[in-house]
Structure 1
Amino acid sequence: MSRRLGYIRVLGACVLTLRSHRNRYLRTAAAIASGVLMLPAAGLAADLPLKAHAAKAVYDWTGFYVGGHVAYGDASFGPGTHPLPEQGALLPHSATGFSGGYQLGYNRQFSNRVMLGVEADATFPAPTDGPALARSPGPFNSTIDYVGTVRGRIGYAFDRFMPYVTGGIAWGHTHVNINDADGVTPRFPVSHYQIGWTAGLGLEYAVSGNWTAKAEYEYVDLSRKTYDLSGFGLGSVNVDPRIHLFKLGLNYQFGDTPWMPAVGGKTKLPESDDWNVHAQTTVLPQGYGPIHSPYASPQSLPGGGQFQATWTTTAFLGARLWDGGEFYFNPELAQGFGLNGTLGLAGFSNGEAQKAGAPFPKIRAQRYYFKQTFGLGGEQEAVEDAPNQLAGKRDIDRVTLIVGRFAVGDFFDGNAYAKDPRADFMNWAMWASAAYDFPADLPGYTRGAVAELNRKDWAVRAGLFQVPDAPNSDVLTFKTGGTVVEFEERHSIFEQPGKLRIGVFANSGNTANYRAVVDLAAANPALDINNIVTATQRDRLKYGFYVNLEQQIVNDVGLFARASWNDGQNQILSFTDIDRSLSGGLSIKGSRWGRPDDTIGIGGAINGLSAAHRDFLAAGGTGLLIGDGQLNYRTERILETYYAYSVIKGVTLTADYQMIANPAYNADRGPVSIFSGRLHGEF
């Protein structure tokens, strides 16, 4: 007690002395007083040093940034405009639906914590909700292709929180589609640009590293535009867009030096292993010259040649929810067209083409799924940070459960050398087991569940998925379903690693039977064979198998081979018109010529049809992608070779050549030589 009183007397003396020097020593006195008041028991107090607390760092919002956002909202275009219903993902369809895009800007924070900034962004809507449109057909429909803005921002920084208001100019591109007699199929689009203004408010929060997250409401008012539709017998219509958007976004802060990390490579806040962000963008142009084509249908590869291109941009967002629990979300923008609208080849030449199909970007929530890993103990392995993969460690012996929306190929039929059309082979028959009619909507995704048991030298996985409600439909259903079971064996041959995957699959879907359709068409020659198809569709089974090998031969040289088969009796539901397929090839890294990040690939594929399937096409039937009206059957044969040149880390430029003999199995057509380029960037 006597020592404690002594310290109090000393403190009092210090305070009295400091009164005459208050401005100079105020902070030192506060630190001394704090240290004394926090001393432990009197017996230890005399031995402890006194230290001042470090000043707390305050987050600085100043600098350039770039990012992306997703949104949901609605719009009105004025009376009598018949807005298109756009897909809302998990939310109801609306005139904008699920939308998203990107933004960039600059902030300047002042000493009084006021932030002034400027931001430019572009927001793109979702594709059309086909079933909703079919329920309310009309003579025409109006829609908006995108909205762009340039806005000022005024905010106030509460350290890592910053509320703000925003406003500025806006513009958009609207179009009106004159519909066919069915009131759904678009025939004649007419379009205009419109300018206006925007205002909104939001809240931004510095999360970790250089990343900030924001929530924002934005109202957009565009000028009225009169569309003269008198040439179509419809008079005139005024399109007067009023748009409401609720946005969630992420921004990467660069600081005052644009497009460069902060000085010294340090981030503004500590990094976190509990979430990650990756992105990719891929531009893929393709073209071919005139080919032999004595007859054709709309689903035939045009004889005069063609050039088309696709462009996709994807964000890969991941978050750790709890021990072993993860959530992934992948919004994706896609625009452009495959050759002939992705028609005319069974082994189609562009692995991105099924996602495109629009002159302006369209956004979809391609993946959203939960992943739970249960470790079984024993040896562990490191997991690197990657798209849809959080860094850390996991047990080699484990059980993994996945539920949500994804592509079947995310977890099945993998191959280190031929799997990703953004990085290696482009042809559908090269990067997948082509006779596996995997369940999917139009861009190639489904909803379902996957379970996997992994051991050091093998794994077994199984999946149950939704299938389309009809062939080539964008609507998924659980009324029927698709299943697959895959066994993966890992081995080493002469100390070179390899994997063998064997899968069996079965889909139950609303399809027609080829043989029954051909027989009915022969007995009723006045009927169109494709109308018979629609009339006779019911729940039918398709089953088959695939075998998939990857084998390293020497360092930087790998071999791949696939064989797949389905029963070929009923219509293809989702993927492509192939009942039997063999493919294989080599992948060679450029280490031997001083380019270790470059890759050369060369491979080939042979695709075939069942007897019932060929008879159906020969009688004038059409499949998902092919149908010439008649058929001089030969197997479709594909040769593909590419060179992927690493420009800088994360950016590759690829030259690709494909020669396809008997396109769509027709010896009367082709051959066709397709030349492709590919620019791919990722981080």
Structure 2
Amino acid sequence: MTQTIRRIFLVKGAVAGLALAVAPLDLARAADAVMPFKASRVAPVFDWSGLHIGGHVGYGGGSFGPGTNPLPQQGIFFPSTITGLIGGYQAGYNLQLPSKWVFGVEADISFTSTLDRPKLVPAPFNTTFDYFGTARGRVGYAFGTVLPYVTGGAAFGRTRVDLNNATGEIVGNKPRMHLGWVAGAGIEVSAGGNWTGKVEYNYIDLGARTYGLGDVPLPDVAVDPTIHTIKVGLNYRLWDTPPWIGNTAIKPLALPESTNWNVHGQTTLITQGYPSFRAPYQGPNSLPGIGRTRQTWTFGAFLGWRLWDGSELYFNPELAQGFGIGGTLGLAGFSNGEAQKGGAEYPEFRAQRYFFRQTFGLGGEQEDVADAANQLSGKRDINRVTVTVGRFAVGDYFDGNSYAKDPRADFMNWAMWSSAAYDFPADLPGFTRGAVVELNRKDWAIRAGLFQVPSQPNSDVLTFKTGGAVIEFEGRHTILDQPGKLRVGVFANRGNTANYRNALGISAANPGININDIVPGERRERSKYGFYVNAEQQIATDVGIFARASWNDGQNEILSFTDIDRSVSGGVSINGSHWGRPDDTIGLGGAINGLSGAHRDFLAAGGKGLLIGDGRLNYGTERILETYYALALSKAFTLTADYQLITNPAYNADRGPVSIFSGRLHGEF
């Protein structure tokens, strides 16, 4: 039963059909292995009957009707449209008749991608989707493990009109529900085990709704959504053994899953809140003095496909919803590692990772590789060169640490799970595109990366016009027979940023001009450089300590991460085996963040950073204490209680301290 439940939840993260190509080969091999070599044998017959759940990704387009000013949603490899890329879930039931006709029902819901800001045209209002979905019948004819079908039924969706002021900022919105119809066709194929993959086309007509905009004042507008979508998905059939029907003398065939592909998933829900704290004044980027509670939620899949020996392709689609406390503003060491700068009230879809990895073995001793997220099982040479190209997070390959690295599982504060003064290249959710090369030996490794950087601070647009680079050395050692690692990295970014001293000089010469209005005109291609040191050491069985120190030059604006120029952090992590809970973990750590002189003067003059800016500044180092207990509910789920005490939030001794309480539910499959 545990295994069944695990598989049921696993599919909620699975949202692509990468396994389709291996299905026919696996089916043939499995059948040959099971069937006795007799001329009179009766071949098993695949039966499509049963309940399934799954996920999908795709691309859509269409229209809201004339005069609706649709928001352009990101298409990544395709043009932006009213939906852009889409992702979501489905569930359904099929019944296969002896005549091989298959009748079924299926319901799904889809969410659109994020705003393609460079394509946005100024308008007094814009129209977009919060979500849309369908409830359909399906009729198909089974050709063994291949099922072509037609589908149709009801459709529903929620549109929203955002009202803008003269500068383009959203000042209000109005939502409407729509009900319409859908028709389409698709093909579904067995992909091994209980998995099936499908490709499906839908045409959706949601029907017109009128928005009254007289209070803006603007003329009324009719929103009439019509959509074309192409979806690729995976379904998981809810039984322990696939239902094969054949000769009663033959044991039902359980088609094996291929070792050349895998599917993993995760979901993380974090609720954070704090009581009111001392705040005699606040600015546009301050953490509000009155207590707040906010949530974030992510749900993603990790799909891998071995193309040939040593060659792997990975895809990680993700839905994200919610905001950090204070709108992810007001703390340099922000309290929630899952909080994205581009938060959303409804889930938004992003293709967070898509990358190609090639490993070149250099011979000699080999090591086992376990099946895991973004990792296919097998063996590899310990001495190897690995090249990775695509979209990923810089932290996937650099600044790793066994005890403080993953805000979904251990410390949540940004200054605890990262070398916080490393302004690593990233878009708003924390990812970039680039390449990484690594040389690995038994006792050491060296890796280097080159990445796209945002077009300007806090931008969601990545560019290679300028770039970021990092080189890291990792040494592995033992002290008193206990393993440890030391990582040393140097980095440099070149981006479109303003110089703090230049902005301060212009402000002093023109005291009537707000310094934040000066900054955009002073942005030029400028560099930021620095280093980090990252250590971890096991000191006893299931007890480890860690420490980080990082520094950047602090002369120009932070480009990607957060407003920190100097940072030190450290702590201890203890596994629950010491009190009979081997899957539990307790952690305790602290961090101290600081700013360069130019940076603190800029903030004191009323400047705004990426996350902070109180309008004035009584400078003091930002000091963070964090402790957590992660309670394993099962092999898949962990419930964490976390407490953070932050003194001098955003480096301001006039405000705080603030106590932040968090609860986190994390599942991975």
> Which TM-score bucket, shorter chain as reference?
over 0.9
Range with bigger deviation, 348-357 or 657-666: 348-357
Q: Offset of 1:480 from its aligned partner?
A: 0.6
1:350 counterpart residue number: 336
Alpha-carbon distance in structure 2 between the residues aligned to 1:470 and 1:377: 44
Distance of aligned partners of 1:356 and 1:620 in 2 relative to their CA distance in 1, 3 Å threshold: closer
Alpha-carbon distance in structure 2 between the residues aligned to 1:297 and 1:246: 46
Alpha-carbon distance in structure 1 between the residues aligned to 2:278 and 2:613: 16
1:67 counterpart residue number: 54
The structure with the largest alpha-carbon Rg is: 1
1:515 counterpart residue number: 501
Paired residue type of 1:67 = G
Q: Offset of 1:356 from its aligned partner?
A: 5.3
Match of 2:594 among 608, 625, 629: 608
* 1:648 aligned counterpart, secondary structure: coil
Paired residue type of 2:348 = K
> Is 2:151 aligned against 1:163?
no
Match of 1:197 among 162, 181, 185: 181
CA contact (8 A) 2:342 2:428 kept: no
CA contact (8 A) 1:210 1:267 kept: no
> Is 2:89 aligned against 1:105?
no
Q: Offset of 1:51 from its aligned partner?
A: 4.5
Q: Offset of 1:660 from its aligned partner?
A: 0.3
1:552 counterpart residue number: 538
Q: Offset of 1:594 from its aligned partner?
A: 1.3
1:599 counterpart residue number: 585
* 1:681 aligned counterpart, secondary structure: strand
Alpha-carbon distance in structure 1 between the residues aligned to 2:308 and 2:484: 33
2:317 counterpart residue number: 331
> Is 2:272 aligned against 1:301?
no
Q: Offset of 1:253 from its aligned partner?
A: 1.4
Alpha-carbon distance in structure 2 between the residues aligned to 1:456 and 1:194: 60
Distance of aligned partners of 1:51 and 1:172 in 2 relative to their CA distance in 1, 3 Å threshold: closer
Paired residue type of 2:65 = G
Percent of aligned positions that are identical: 68
Distance of aligned partners of 1:94 and 1:268 in 2 relative to their CA distance in 1, 3 Å threshold: farther
Match of 1:645 among 617, 631, 636: 631
Alpha-carbon distance in structure 2 between the residues aligned to 1:617 and 1:355: 20
Match of 2:163 among 163, 178, 192: 178
Q: Offset of 1:54 from its aligned partner?
A: 3.4
Alpha-carbon distance in structure 1 between the residues aligned to 2:546 and 2:242: 43
Alpha-carbon distance in structure 2 between the residues aligned to 1:165 and 1:171: 19
1:586 counterpart residue number: 572
Paired residue type of 2:61 = D
CA contact (8 A) 1:370 1:402 kept: yes
Alpha-carbon distance in structure 2 between the residues aligned to 1:398 and 1:371: 13
Alpha-carbon distance in structure 1 between the residues aligned to 2:353 and 2:60: 20
Could you report, residue by residue, the CA deviation over 1:245-283 in whole angstroms, capped at 9, with x for unpaired residues? 10000111123xxxx666999984221011110010111
Could you report, residue by residue, the CA deviation over 1:51-102 in whole angstroms, capped at 9, with x for unpaired residues? 5453322222111111110010102111111111000022111110011101
Alpha-carbon distance in structure 2 between the residues aligned to 1:511 and 1:151: 51
1:238 counterpart residue number: 222
Q: Offset of 1:50 from its aligned partner?
A: 9.5
Match of 1:228 among 207, 212, 218: 212
Unaligned runs of 5+ in 2: 1-35, 245-250
* 1:592 aligned counterpart, secondary structure: helix
> Is 2:294 aligned against 1:314?
no
Alpha-carbon distance in structure 1 between the residues aligned to 2:647 and 2:348: 33
2:45 counterpart residue number: 58
* 1:230 aligned counterpart, secondary structure: coil
Paired residue type of 1:116 = F
Alpha-carbon distance in structure 2 between the residues aligned to 1:595 and 1:621: 49
1:664 counterpart residue number: 650
CA contact (8 A) 1:83 1:143 kept: yes
Could you report, residue by residue, the CA deviation over 1:652-683 in whole angstroms, capped at 9, with x for unpaired residues? 11111110000000000110000000111110
Alpha-carbon distance in structure 1 between the residues aligned to 2:271 and 2:605: 34
Alpha-carbon distance in structure 1 between the residues aligned to 2:455 and 2:43: 59
Alpha-carbon distance in structure 2 between the residues aligned to 1:266 and 1:383: 32
2:193 counterpart residue number: 209
Paired residue type of 2:115 = T
Distance of aligned partners of 1:50 and 1:503 in 2 relative to their CA distance in 1, 3 Å threshold: closer
CA contact (8 A) 2:494 2:526 kept: yes
Alpha-carbon distance in structure 2 between the residues aligned to 1:50 and 1:399: 45
Could you report, residue by residue, the CA deviation over 1:17-63 in whole angstroms, capped at 9, with x for unpaired residues? xxxxxxxxxxxxxxxxxxxxxxxxxxxxxxxx995453322222111
Alpha-carbon distance in structure 1 between the residues aligned to 2:548 and 2:77: 36
Equivalent positions of 1:172-571 (< 5 A) are 172-182=157-167, 184-255=168-239, 268-354=254-340, 357-571=343-557
CA contact (8 A) 2:284 2:615 kept: no
1:149 counterpart residue number: 134
Distance of aligned partners of 1:223 and 1:491 in 2 relative to their CA distance in 1, 3 Å threshold: same
Equivalent positions of 1:98-137 (< 5 A) are 98-133=85-120, 136-137=121-122
Alpha-carbon distance in structure 1 between the residues aligned to 2:262 and 2:499: 47
CA contact (8 A) 1:636 1:663 kept: yes
Alpha-carbon distance in structure 2 between the residues aligned to 1:221 and 1:281: 32
RMSD of aligned Cα (Å)? 1.6
Match of 1:95 among 75, 82, 104: 82
1:84 counterpart residue number: 71
Unaligned runs of 5+ in 1: 1-48
Could you report, residue by residue, the CA deviation over 1:197-238 in whole angstroms, capped at 9, with x for unpaired residues? 111110000011211110000111112111000100112001
Distance of aligned partners of 1:113 and 1:670 in 2 relative to their CA distance in 1, 3 Å threshold: same
* 1:591 aligned counterpart, secondary structure: helix
Could you report, residue by residue, the CA deviation over 1:577-618 in whole angstroms, capped at 9, with x for unpaired residues? 000000111111111211111111111000000011000000
Paired residue type of 1:209 = G
* 1:231 aligned counterpart, secondary structure: coil
Q: Offset of 1:527 from its aligned partner?
A: 1.2
Alpha-carbon distance in structure 2 between the residues aligned to 1:370 and 1:653: 33
CA contact (8 A) 1:293 1:670 kept: yes
Alpha-carbon distance in structure 1 between the residues aligned to 2:560 and 2:540: 37
Q: Offset of 1:619 from its aligned partner?
A: 0.5
Alpha-carbon distance in structure 2 between the residues aligned to 1:76 and 1:666: 49
Paired residue type of 1:550 = E
Alpha-carbon distance in structure 2 between the residues aligned to 1:621 and 1:50: 79
1:7 counterpart residue number: none
Range with bigger deviation, 516-525 or 305-314: 516-525
Alpha-carbon distance in structure 2 between the residues aligned to 1:385 and 1:357: 32
Count of paired positions: 628
